[in-house]
Structure formats: C-alpha cells, structure tokens
Amino acid sequence: MFKVAGKISSRLDSRLLLRCSSAQPLAPCVEETVESQSQPLNNASPQELNLGDEYRVVYLPKDFKLHRLNAGPARAVAIMKSQAREYYRQLLTVRLLESAASRLYKEQLVRGFCHLYMGQEACAVGIRAAMRSNDKLITGYRVHGWAYMMGVSARGVLGELTGRRSGCSGGKGGSMHMYGRNFYGGTGIVGDQVPLGAGVALTSKYLQDGGVCLALYGDGAANQGQVFECFNMALLWKLPMIFVCENNNYGMGTSSQRAAANVNYYTRGDLMPGIWVNGQDVLAVRSATEFAIKHAQQEGPIILELCTYRYGGHSMSDPGTSYRTREEIQKVRQQHDPIQGFGALCLEQQILTADELQEISQMARLEMEVATRAARKDGEPPLSHLWSDVYSGVYEGKLSGVHPGIEA
C-alpha cells in the first residue's frame, strides 16, 4: 500500500474496516477464458493485405454482440507481421508509460489527480489501428495512453504530468488535459467531451473531409444527461460519429451494475446501432472500429461498447480495493491481460518469436527511460504563463485582475 501524495484525503487505508461491495458478478467479458483458433480466410477483415508482408489469419475467440445491426464486424481478421510488432510495441509502451507516471507520482513529481490506463491498453491500440489520418478523437480524463497513441511523445506526456515546459500543454494542463493533432483531449469534467465530439463530427461532415469523430466516455459517464442529448443530435443530423463507451465496470467507486439500470451500454442509444466488443482483445477492437468507421461514414452514428478493466484505482488517490476485491483484479490480470493475450497470440500464430517480443520490450523500456529522465529534468514554464492563454490576441499581456507587480 503506497502513501498518497498531497494533504487531502482519499487515501483509503486498507487497515480500516471499509466494507467492500458484496461480490459482484464480473462483467461478461471477464468471465470466459480466451481461446484462439485458426480458420481459413473467409470474410477477411476489409483491410488491405500487403502480401509482401507475412500475415496470419485469426478467428476472434469472442463474438461481437449487435444491437440493431444485421451484420457486424469481421470475426476473421488478418494480422501482418509489421502490424503485430507495432501493436505489441504500442501496448507495451502505453503500459510502461503509465508505470512511469505512477512512479513519478509516488515520488511526488506528479501531483494532483492522475488516472491510469493500465489494463485498458487494447482499447487505445485497437482503435488507433483502425483510424485513418483524418479521423478525430476525444476522450475523458484517463488520457495519458490516448495522448501517446494520438502522436504525443512520451516526453510530452510525462513532461505534462510533471508540469514542464516540454509537456504537450506547456505544463499548464496536467494529467487530464493533453491534446494533439486531431486529438481533442482531455477533460476533467465527466461527460463534457461527448457533445464536443458531436460538434467535431458535424464540422467534419460540413467540411466534407471524410473523417469521423470518435467520442470516448466511460461507464460512469454513460449516465450523464448530455450523452443522451448527443445520441439524439447525432441520429437526427446523421453525424459521422462513433460513440465509444470504455466500460471498465467501475465509475470511481461504484460498479456499473449499481449505477446503471441498463448495463448494456451498446444498446443505450435506442435507435442507434451498437456493438459490444471484448475490449481486452486488440484485434477485436480494431475489427469493430473498422466496421464502425465505415458505418459512421455511410449510415450514421454508432455505439461501440468496449468491455475492459482497469487494474489501478480510479486515480492515484484511490487504491481501488475498497469497492472490489483483490481476487477480481488478479483474475483479470492473469486471464485477460491485453498485452499477455496479444503476445501469446503472436507466439502461437508464430508471427513473432519470443526473441522479437523481447527486443520490442527492451526498446519500449528504453524509450520510457529517456522520457522519464526528461520529465525529471526539463525546465518549468515561466511565471508569465500563469496569465497566458486566457484570451487570444491583443488581450494577452495586460490582463485585468492580475496584479501588475507580478508582470515579469
């Protein structure tokens, strides 16, 4: 049990007799074990097969669940060697990024509220694998992994966490506020990002840039009123939008069963079609996203529910064990870990060797080491940035309500 930085409570001491929530049935996606089978190539994923590159065809172990759809994403998917390397590297790097963030937090170099993505890596890697260069994405506060996947360097992410000038928001946003190209962040207020995503989607449609917008939210946010307002607007105006519910089964300390009357988040768009996806399987997520992108462009908005799990607590201030059991966390780690699962698949399909996995792992570790060192040493933003970026243009410089004595 680690000591939490900062004066404020939220430190839930394991020695105190806080009753865990009574044993909750685990969400469907974490009950069955993963099996994979090879099948001949039929109904292959719509992706282009570069036959110069080695590839395998995998039949996804778990089926998708469909809502108001006659046909769903491809269950037989092709994976090329170069993709296998890339996905494995990305999965691992996001995990290491979050470990680095956690370490920096425990050293009190990162302060405030820090929400880790560990356990959910396949969601980000899978979605990104299917996105095209003109697609946009917006998500909530569990954003470090997403920032990295959307092109922010590890140094940019860790630097932002430690409040450095080299951080992707100049050190001014912190953990929850990271942005990048076609990546709208990054918000601390639950659910706020969904209407923003609808707006981005509308603009894409209006400007005819062929892109779609993916708006991500969690199972907690799925009960926010503004999300339903967006379902209506998206359907009414046929927005090229994909609602993605990253259902990690807990909204802070409340399990999704205790927060939602209908836990089938992929059905909550009513007339809007939806797909339930095993969020721990990167290839399933990729397949579903490809399907969804095509649907969003041609038919209209769609919901993807990615059933996933977070190993850590809600944030670094929450040990995450007062409302769920350690056994549950261990079980998911052992049986449904996205990185182990994909690594095992690669070995079994003989598309990557153990040596190659090791090599990728070493490179990822080195990348993170360099980034962490920079996050410790880089310079801080100057004081004048306290009042920069409040307004634009001519209003910068002399801001009323900021004491003139403090102007540098």
Partner 1 sequence: MRVSQVARSCFNTLRLNFRPAPMTRSHFTYYPTAVGPGDAKKMNMFTAINNAMDLALEEDSTALLFGEDVGFGGVFRCSVNLRDKYGKDRVFNSPLCEQGIAGFAIGVANAGATAIAEIQFADYIFPSFDQIVNEAAKYRYRSGGLFDCGSLTFRVPCGAVGHGALYHSQSPEAYFAHTPGLRVVVPRGPIKAKGLLLACIRDPNPCIVFEPKTLYRAAVEEVPTEYYTSELGKADILRKGKDVTLIGWGTQVHVLLEVAELAKEKHNIDCEVIDLVSILPWDTETICNSAKKTGRVVIAHEAPFTQGFGSEIAAYIQDKCFLNLEAPVKRVTGWDTPFPHVFEPFYLPDKLRCLTAIKDIVNY
Site residues (vs partner 1, CB under 8 A)? 3, 5-10, 12, 18-19, 21, 106-109, 111-113, 163, 171-174, 176-177, 188-191, 220-221, 223-226, 251-254, 258-260, 317-318, 322-323, 380-381, 383, 385-387, 390, 399-403, 405-406, 408
CA angle 90, 95, 97 (to 5 degrees): 90
Closest CA to 184 of 150, 154, 218, 217: 150
Residue 249 C-beta: closest distance to partner 1, Å: 14
Residue 9 or residue 350: which is nearer to partner 1 going by CB? Answer: 9
Residue 260 or residue 284: which is nearer to partner 1 going by CB? Answer: 260
Residue 107 C-beta: closest distance to partner 1, Å: 6
Concatenating the DSSP letter of every residue in 92-142 gives HHHHHHHHHHHHHHHTTSS-S-----TT-HHHHHHHHHH--TT-EEE--S-
Closest CA to 177 of 207, 152, 143, 153: 143
Residue 235 or residue 259: which is nearer to partner 1 going by CB? Answer: 259
Which two three-digit tokens encode residue 113? 């509220």
The greatest distance separating any two alpha carbons of the chain, rounded to the nearest whole angstrom, comes to 74
Residue 160 C-beta: closest distance to partner 1, Å: 9
Cβ atoms of residues 153 and 127 within 8 Å: no
Closest CA to 246 of 145, 173, 172, 158: 145
Residue 8 C-beta: closest distance to partner 1, Å: 5
Residue 262 C-beta: closest distance to partner 1, Å: 11
Residue 132 or residue 258: which is nearer to partner 1 going by CB? Answer: 258
One-letter amino acid of 259: A
Residue 59 or residue 387: which is nearer to partner 1 going by CB? Answer: 387
Backbone dihedral angles phi then psi of residue 217, each to the nearest 5 degrees: -155, 170
Residue 2 C-beta: closest distance to partner 1, Å: 10
Residue 257 C-beta: closest distance to partner 1, Å: 11
Residue 46 or residue 170: which is nearer to partner 1 going by CB? Answer: 170
Residue 228 or residue 237: which is nearer to partner 1 going by CB? Answer: 228
Q: Contacts by 9-17 with C-beta closer than 8 Å and gap 24+?
A: 10/315, 10/317, 10/318, 11/317, 11/319, 12/318, 12/319, 12/321, 12/322, 14/319, 14/321
